[in-house]
Chain A
Amino acid sequence: MADGLTIPRTSTPAAGVRAPSVDIYAPQWRNFIFVAPFLFFFTTLLIFPLLWGMWLSFHKADTFSSGNFVGLGNYIRLFNDKVFLQSVWNTFYFVLLTVPTLALIGLFLALCLNRRTRTAAVLRTLFFSSSVLSVTIVTLIWRIVFIPNVGLLSTIYGWFGATAPAFISDPSLAMIGIAIATVWWCIGLPMMLFLSALQQIPQDIYEAAALDNANRWQTLRSITLPSIKRTFVLVIIIQIVLQFQLFGQAWLMTRGGPNNLTKPIVLYIYDTAFRRWDLGMGAAASEILFILILIAAMAQYLVARNKADQA
């Protein structure tokens, strides 16, 4: 015990302080038993399906059988399918609508609510609370906001004798409606990430700035924003990965319509694989999505690692 106190955190016995007669950190097969249960599920339910999915994407397959090898056939059909290309475009459009909005509002809220007052704590709780709801509840709430006649929006517009924009049925507004509901649902996470970054900025820098009579705008521009630059990039990438997976909101609010204009890639996969039962083509579409998300995830890994290096 005393040994542990005088030499804190020198963990390896190789340091020469005390050399155990048995090397307790030597590789041993029996130690494998601790990781074996997880690895069993990991291999059978993640790695194997991942490989099977790639294999399926080169075959014409339905529910129970994996039929004939078609090579790149599914991928060629995919890129000739206007609906698929539309869904890729829709997904990018949705990401473009939501990600910058989430990052900017999240940053704004974090800057305003980064103080130790009771009001700030209550507001942080409020802005994060929507994140714990399920997509079903969120879409129910927003459909009742947007719905004509009894909707909140049309009621408010009605007070001024105006007609509310049709956020669900108007082709040019439908995706924006889904984006609004999504920002409302997801705003908690970027806010919290920015808050934790702000709290890591050393307070003495601000004190020095205050002594130099820096005004708030100068402090924000030359101290706060540069210190959280990396967090900003991280938030953007995390949100890109998350929003690329759009499914529930589009499926429950618009069913992908009107005219497939709000159909994202995941909904295309769902339609193709589980409603038209063309599993091969569904698998091919999910490989494309996988590649897109993998690129974003790699970027996240690189940014996160750089951050760790600097700390």
Chain B
Amino acid sequence: MSAPATSIKGRAFGDRVLLALVILLSIVMIAPVLWVIGLSLKENAELMADPNSVFHAPYTLKNYLNTIGTSSVFLWVGNSIIVSGGLTIGTLVLSSLAGYGFARLNFPGRNVLFVIVLFGLAVPEQAVLVARHQIFSILKFHNTYHGLILPGLSASFGVFLMTQYFKAIPKELDEAAMLDNASRFRIFWKVLLPLTVPAQATLGIFTFLGAWNDYLWPLISATKKDMYTLTVGMASTQTNFAQSEGIGFLMAQAVFAGAPILIVYLFFQKYIVTAVSGAAVR
């Protein structure tokens, strides 16, 4: 079952050293998270007296009840769902249409336009941040949902991914329909789009996750507390951190915000890994 490279004699000692290193790294990965979960279950006064109290009872759910009791958290989760969902749907629609157009249809200037779209992959968000912010100020888009969603719609990655995917579908499938002069949109909708479901899933999860975790744009565009996304909202509650008051509460908030994403990751792991590595290599 194991890879051939390991099927060589005299490897017991080396294997043990490697195993020890991997276990050590695993502990580094897990320990901080366990620490956070532990703190989130403790009374603050007890923590302040002795941090080692994390290792024994009594534990309490008070911090979680306080987190849920803070209505803002639900508001921010709602905002994040609207923004991430809106951006995901928009990206899927725009990228599928454009991907089909670039992969299957010809129009004047197609190749030049595609190269320009590819160039968009190399433009980092920070290079357009200042100008975008000024444009959105003039249009009064700040502190609105569309103000948070629109910038993401200009990302080229989805178009690039869908173009590649449409190109990989054998042309015989839609050529016959094209020769019969079926409408281009009908071919796209009825013949090709159903075949792109795996790519849609990959792109959708990638876009949703990216938007959910985005920090910089929401930070400068959503300045009203009611419009915060979860990422920005949680960051805003961290300011009085140094006083070490309500550490358990902050930790409960982190668990509350992190757990759903980790559960989603466990279910859609394959798509997420494909999407993230695909986006990196392009």
Contact = CB atoms under 8 A, between A and B. Distances in A.
B5 interface: yes
Contact of A52 (B31, B131, B244): B131
Contacts of A150: 39, 47-48, 51, 244, 247
Interface string A293-311: 1100110010010000000
A176 to B, nearest CB: 15
Contacts of B225: none
B71 interface: no
Interface in B227-282: 230-232, 234-235, 238, 241, 244, 247, 250-251, 253-254, 257-258, 261-262, 264-266, 269, 272-273, 276-277, 280-282
A34 B277 CA distance: 28
B36 A144 contact: yes
A28 B220 CA distance: 42
A203 B113 contact: no
Contacts of B138: 64
A86 interface: no
Contacts of B69: none
B276 A192 contact: yes
A68 to B, nearest CB: 16
B5 A53 contact: no
B247 A34 contact: no
Q: Label chain B's interface by main secondary structure.
A: helix
A137 interface: yes
A41 B94 contact: yes
B265 A135 contact: no
Contact of B130 (A137, A193, A206, A273): A273
B107 A32 contact: yes
Contacts of B231: 134-136
B116 to A, nearest CB: 8
B8 A210 contact: yes
A35 B29 contact: no
A216 B131 CA distance: 55
Interface residues of B, number: 114
B262 A29 contact: no
A279 B134 contact: yes
Interface in B47-90: 47-48, 51-52, 54
A159 B23 CA distance: 21
Interface in B202-232: 209, 212-213, 215-216, 220, 230-232
B107 A45 contact: no
A149 B50 CA distance: 8
Contacts of B191: none
A117 B1 contact: yes
Contacts of A283: 130-131
Contact of A130 (B29, B97, B170): B29
A109 B105 contact: no
Interface string A20-45: 10101111111111110111011011
A131 interface: yes
B277 A189 contact: yes
B195 interface: no
Contacts of A125: 266, 269
Nearest to B103: A34
Contacts of A263: none
A213 to B, nearest CB: 8
A207 B41 CA distance: 53
B190 to A, nearest CB: 15
Nearest to A273: B130
A49 B132 contact: yes
A252 B238 contact: yes
Closest 8 CB pairs of A and B: A34-B101, A4-B172, A45-B154, A290-B127, A31-B105, A134-B213, A53-B131, A49-B131
20 contacts: A22-B181, A24-B175, A25-B106, A29-B108, A32-B107, A39-B113, A61-B134, A64-B134, A109-B25, A133-B213, A137-B258, A143-B238, A145-B35, A149-B48, A193-B277, A210-B8, A266-B216, A279-B133, A283-B131, A301-B122
Interface of A: 3-4, 8-9, 11, 13, 20, 22, 24-35, 37-39, 41-42, 44-50, 52-53, 56, 61, 63-64, 66, 105, 108-109, 112-117, 123, 125-137, 139-145, 147, 149-152, 154-155, 158, 184, 188-189, 192-193, 196, 203, 206-207, 210, 214-216, 219-220, 224, 234, 238, 241, 245, 247-248, 252, 266, 269-270, 273-274, 279, 282-283, 286-287, 289-290, 293-294, 297-298, 301, 304
Interface of B: 1-8, 10-11, 14, 18, 21-22, 25-26, 28-33, 35-36, 39, 47-48, 51-52, 54, 93-95, 97-98, 100-102, 105-108, 110, 113, 116-117, 120-135, 137-138, 150-151, 153-156, 159, 170-172, 175, 178-179, 181, 184, 188, 209, 212-213, 215-216, 220, 230-232, 234-235, 238, 241, 244, 247, 250-251, 253-254, 257-258, 261-262, 264-266, 269, 272-273, 276-277, 280-282
